[in-house]
């Protein structure tokens, strides 16, 4: 395995793990459902994406095996994660979950 | 657009029969020659040359990836900042896009933008309700980003 591939794998997987940890901290720290959703839907998307990318490169570099299922997994996560985040926040809003008291503006409440 | 691609594939197959060699490299050469022919005959097609739309799609995917990285940086900053200074809020955004898939794409793109998340869509498909992590610096910057996204999506969907 060449040094370049090794470093790429290490960097991909470490950054992916780091982003997942940050997402977990964000879910603990942020004040309400909507802001938590920001952290969860964005950081984990890129975190899982980078981890999968690292795995893909690892198996390509060691076994010379290009695993197309990992590519499919990356694409599916990329498409579905923002939709899931949107649906959770929409369901929360329509069941009447309050915004945190920091919020300054709520245009949706004036909707007819 | 689909018709042009189909025509191009057909011309590539024709080229394989001319050469009487059924290999990938012959197919690619035939495809490129077919592209050249379609380019020269472009005034006879009612829609745009399809290659422009392919480029627009690639551009949109690159935009998606860039925004994903930037939004992760923004979330990182908020989460790792020891003081919680954010001022969240929901604002409305009018959109010019009409068909369902365009609006879906725009909503996904906005969700992956730094500090914004789509909460709801009005019944007439005209207004997107967006939750912003930090409404003060978001408002203007986001508005301009939205315009560039809308333009990129229109670039894909425009037919003539």
Residues of A in contact with B78 (CB under 8 A): 26, 30, 39
Asked if B66 contacts B23 with a C-beta cutoff of 8 angstroms, the reply is no
Query: Best interface-test mutation with B: which of A107, A110, A111, A112 has the largest number of B CBs within 10 A?
Result: A107
Same domain, B81 and B99: yes
Please determine, for residue B7, whether its predicted confidence score (pLDDT) is greater than 60: yes
Number of domains, chain B: 2
Q: Do B90 and A105 touch (CB under 8 A)?
A: yes
In this structure, of A97-101, A105-109, B104-108, B140-144, the range with the lowest mean pLDDT score is: A105-109
Contacts of A78 (CB under 8 A, 6+ apart): A45, A49, B64
Residue A104: pLDDT band by 50, 70, 90 thresholds?
low
Q: Which residues pair with B90 in a beta bridge?
A: A106, B131
Q: Which residues pair with B118 in a beta bridge?
A: B130
**CA–CA separation, B77 and B71 (whole Å):** 10
Q: Do B129 and A107 touch (CB under 8 A)?
A: yes
**Domain of residue B34, residue span:** 2-44
Q: Which residues pair with B93 in a beta bridge?
A: B128
- Model confidence pLDDT, tens digit, residues B44-88: 887 778 888 888 889 888 888 888 888 888 888 888 877 777 778
Same domain, B7 and B60: no
Same domain, B39 and B16: yes
Same domain, B36 and B58: no
Chain B residues with CB within 8 Å of chain A CB = 64, 68-69, 71-72, 75-76, 78-80, 84, 86-92, 107-108, 111-112, 115, 117-120, 122, 129, 131, 133, 135
Which of B154, B127, B131 has its CA nearest to residue B142? B131
Same domain, B30 and B83: no
Asked if B127 contacts B91 with a C-beta cutoff of 8 angstroms, the reply is no
Can you say whether the dihedral through the CA atoms of A62, A63, A64, A67 is positive or negative?
A: negative
Same domain, B99 and B125: yes
Residue A55: pLDDT band by 50, 70, 90 thresholds?
very high
Token pair belonging to B6? 């189909």
Average pLDDT, chain B: 83
Same domain, B14 and B72: no
- Model confidence pLDDT, tens digit, residues A11-45: 999 999 999 998 888 888 888 888 888 888 888 88
CB atoms within 10 A of CB B51: 16
- Is the ipTM higher than 0.90? The answer is no
Same domain, B79 and B136: yes
Q: Which residues pair with B89 in a beta bridge?
A: B132
How many whole angstroms from its chain centre is CA B104? Answer: 11
Contacts of B107 (CB under 8 A, 6+ apart): A82, A86, B118, B121, B128
**CA–CA separation, A43 and B88 (whole Å):** 18
**CA–CA separation, A75 and B100 (whole Å):** 21
Percentage of residues in chain B with pLDDT exceeding 90?
15
Same domain, B113 and B133: yes
Token pair belonging to B115? 């500090």
The alpha-carbon gap from B95 to the nearest alpha carbon of chain A, in Å, equals: 15
Token pair belonging to B18? 């001319």
Which of B159, B46, B49, B153 has its CA nearest to residue B100? B153
Please determine, for residue A112, whether its predicted confidence score (pLDDT) is greater than 60: no
Same domain, B61 and B93: yes
Same domain, B38 and B63: no
Same domain, B35 and B68: no
């Amino acid at each position: 395995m060449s040094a370049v591939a090794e470093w790429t794998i290490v960097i991909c997987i470490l950054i992916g793990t780091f982003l997942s940890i940050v997402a977990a901290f964000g879910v603990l720290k942020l004040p309400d459902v909507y802001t938590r959703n920001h952290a969860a839907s964005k950081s984990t998307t890129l975190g899982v994406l980078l981890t999968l990318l690292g795995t893909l490169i690892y198996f390509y570099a060691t076994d010379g095996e290009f695993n197309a299922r990992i590519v499919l997994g990356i694409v599916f996560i990329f498409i579905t994660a923002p939709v899931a985040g949107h649906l959770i926040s929409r369901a929360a809003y329509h069941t009447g979950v309050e915004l945190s008291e920091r919020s300054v503006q709520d245009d949706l409440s004036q909707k007819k | 657009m689909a018709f042009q691609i189909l025509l191009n594939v057909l011309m590539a197959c024709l080229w394989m029969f001319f050469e009487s060699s059924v290999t990938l490299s012959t197919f690619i050469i035939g495809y490129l020659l077919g592209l050249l022919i379609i380019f020269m005959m472009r005034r006879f097609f009612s829609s745009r040359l399809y290659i422009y739309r392919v480029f627009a799609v690639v551009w949109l995917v690159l935009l998606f990836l860039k925004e994903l990285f930037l939004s992760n940086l923004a979330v990182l900053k908020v989460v790792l900042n020891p003081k919680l200074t954010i001022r969240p809020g929901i604002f409305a955004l009018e959109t010019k896009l009409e068909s369902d898939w365009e609006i879906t794409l725009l909503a996904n793109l906005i969700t992956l933008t730094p500090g914004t998340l789509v909460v709801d869509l009005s019944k007439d498909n005209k207004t997107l309700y967006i939750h912003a992590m930090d409404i003060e610096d978001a408002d203007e910057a986001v508005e301009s980003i939205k315009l560039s996204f809308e333009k990129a999506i229109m670039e894909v969907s425009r037919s003539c």
